[in-house]
Amino acid sequence: ILFNKKIIRSENELKLCFEKDSRFIIAVGTPLHRKKLYDLMIQNGGEPVNLISPNSSIGKINNFLGKALNIMNNVVITTYIRIGNGVLINTGSIITHDCVIGDFTEICPGVKIAGACVIGENVFIGTGAIILPGIKIGNNSIVAAGSVVKSNIPDCTMYAGNPAVLKKHIK
């Protein structure tokens, strides 16, 4: 038991737990780990719920929020934003107008995403990164902490620096 919550160690324990309450949140692991846990929970009858800090500001105009979100303290999400399932948006991050954030993406503390950006699925954006307007970041990519992204990032790559440049391809 951790913080008065049972730690589930097997699929059988999960099924027993869901007999009492099928709601779940996922607040651990990398984007790919969170996706695997989400799929397992859904397959076993789980009902994903969102964890959204009351200290965050989410615009009311044409926003779509997926399931199993974690939106932490002091996050600002403006308008015309689509956020997929299982996304983690950490403390102090800002996402401005007309952005799309793909499923199971992790946005670390203090990230700034300017308008009209498209962030793929299973993306990891490190602490303090800045994504300039109109940028597209491909699926399964990594943006290192403190990077400034000025050009599109293809799928399965890691970029770092100011300006962010290709550091490696990810298998």
Catalytic residues: 97
104/67 Cα distance (integer angstroms): 10
The gap from C-alpha 37 to its chain's centroid, in whole angstroms, comes to 14
Exposed, middle or buried, 91 (CB in 10 Å: 0-12/13-18/19+)? middle
Exposed, middle or buried, 156 (CB in 10 Å: 0-12/13-18/19+)? middle
Q: Which of 127, 136, 73 minimizes the C-alpha distance to 100?
A: 136
